[in-house]
Amino acid sequence: MAAMSGGVDSAVAAARVAQAGHDVTGVHLALSRNPQSYRSGARGCCTIEDANDARRAADIIGIPFYVWDLSERFHESVVEDFVAEYAAGRTPNPCLRCNEKIKFAAVLDRALALGFDAVATGHYARLETGRGGGVELHRAVDPAKDQSYVLGVLDQRQLAHSLFPLGDSTKTAVRAEAERRGLAVARKPDSHDICFISDGDTAGWLRNRLGVGSGSIVDSAGEVLGSHEGSFGFTVGQRKGLGLERPASDGRPRYVLDIEPVSGTVTVGSREQLVVDQVAGIDPRWCGSPPADELRCAVQLRAHGDEHRAVVRVVDGRVEADLLEPASGIAPGQAVVIYAGSRVVGSATIARAGRRTPV
């Protein structure tokens, strides 16, 4: 089964698995709900244009095509989680959650039950067979497009039934191939924003769901510098849009250091105060076996972020990472993804970031 979003990547991925001789069926996942309709209040129809693009790609490739309505599941597992995480002062990654709960869970399970052997997607990542015979998830060849970070939540069973045909290609090559194959989506722009926030205004979208809140903006000494209309408008590491009238006494920019959702208190401070060298993660997920001992490795702490050399331990089902290279502006709710070379070891949700050593 080829999951086809209507974009160029998944179209080329589907074409490649079909050309490789697999019996391929294209499926577009309708994820969004559109309540503005005469019909039922929950039609999975607001992605009509994307669904049509996917359908046309399937026509060109010559494979059957269907639309599966995952809107209920998506709403429960991804959208509601996204809102709840922001309400709790964290910064979630909905793509990761979607991969964990929808694409490689609900969709994969359904596909397997219906008789498919695997799900192919247009993610940029590579799968290799490890020495022990297991499937390993690796970074893509194209570092600019690598999406192994958002796939770090997949376990061995999920990886064993996944195909990522684009992992060895660059985006440029994929677009050229789409053009060569006559796929009309060849020049369709990449999607960047959160798919269910169509205008890209995350703060406004959250305000509509969480309501206008209130709280103080304080410095690390506790002095009140200003107020805000909802802590969900802030992310750790954020500099712009703090709305503070008084400049810092030293005249340097201020950054969000911490968000306390119950009182709504947002703490700001200097760039130096953002620097952390220790990260704790909860709900770890392992691509293979969890590391038995302390692991010298690298961690990535946000999508498209840098790698930081680290020492990782698993303690009582939690992940503790000592960063040998400090990081800055690490937001709870994002994932810490653990890499051994190009291989993804696993991931966890960042619960806390702090300092082992004094500044």
Partner 1 sequence: MRGWTGSDRAYAWGAMSEATSQPGQVTYLDHAATTPVYPEVIAAMTRQLASLGNPSSLHGSGRAARRVVEESREMIAAAINARPSEVVFTSGGTESDNLATKGLFWARRKVDERRVRVLSTAVEHHAVLDSLHWLAAEVGAQVELLPVDDTGRLDVDAFAATVERDPGSVALATVMSANNEVGTLQPVDRVVEIASRHGIPVHSDAVQVMGQLPLDFAASGVDAMTITGHKIGGPLGCGALLLRREVDLVALLHGGGQERDVRSGTIDAPGIVGLATAAELAVKGQPERAALLCELRDDLVRRVQDVVPDAQLNGAPGDGRLPGNAHFSFPGCEGDSLLMLLDAQGIECSTGSACSAGVPQPSHVLLAMGRDEATARGSLRFSLGHTSTRDDVDRLVAVIGPAVERARAAGVTGMGGSRA
> How far apart, in Å, are the Cα atoms of 166 and each of 57, 104, 174?
16, 17, 8
For residues 285 and 348, the answer to whether their CB atoms sit within 8 Å is: yes
Among residues 3, 10, 17, 25, the one that binds partner 1 under rule CB under 8 A: 25
b/e for 133-169, b at 16 or more Cβ within 10 A?
Answer: eebbbbbbbbeebbbbbbbbbbeeebbebbbbbbbeb
Subset of residues 35 to 54 that bind partner 1, contact rule: CB under 8 A: 38-40, 43-45, 47-48, 51-52
98 is annotated as an active-site residue: yes
Among residues 11, 68, 86, 162, the one that binds partner 1 under rule CB under 8 A: 68
In the complex, least distance from residue 45 CB atom to partner 1, rounded to whole angstroms: 5
Q: Nearer to partner 1 by C-beta: 66 or 272? A: 66
For residues 324 and 311, the answer to whether their CB atoms sit within 8 Å is: yes
Among residues 19, 20, 59, 72, the one that binds partner 1 under rule CB under 8 A: 72
* 142: nearest Cα among 123, 129, 120: 123
Q: How many CB atoms lie within 10 A of CB 51?
A: 20
What is the rounded distance in angstroms from the CA atom of residue 266 to the CA atom of residue 259? Answer: 5
Q: Pick the catalytic residue from 45, 46, 95, 195.
A: 195
What mask of x and - would describe binding to partner 1 in positions 85 to 124, judged by CB under 8 A? ---------------------x--xx-xxxx---------
Strands 119-120 and 162-163: parallel
Q: Nearer to partner 1 by C-beta: 2 or 259? A: 2
For residues 264 and 338, the answer to whether their CB atoms sit within 8 Å is: no
Q: Nearer to partner 1 by C-beta: 23 or 325? A: 23
297 is annotated as an active-site residue: no
Among residues 28, 138, 161, 308, the one that binds partner 1 under rule CB under 8 A: 28
- By CB under 8 A, tell whether 244 contacts partner 1: no
In the complex, least distance from residue 26 CB atom to partner 1, rounded to whole angstroms: 11
Q: How many CB atoms lie within 10 A of CB 275?
A: 16
Q: Catalytic amino acids?
A: 98, 195
| Binding-site ranges for partner 1 (CB under 8 A) | 25, 28, 30, 38-40, 43-45, 47-48, 51-52, 55, 64, 66-70, 72-73, 75-77, 106, 109-110, 112-115
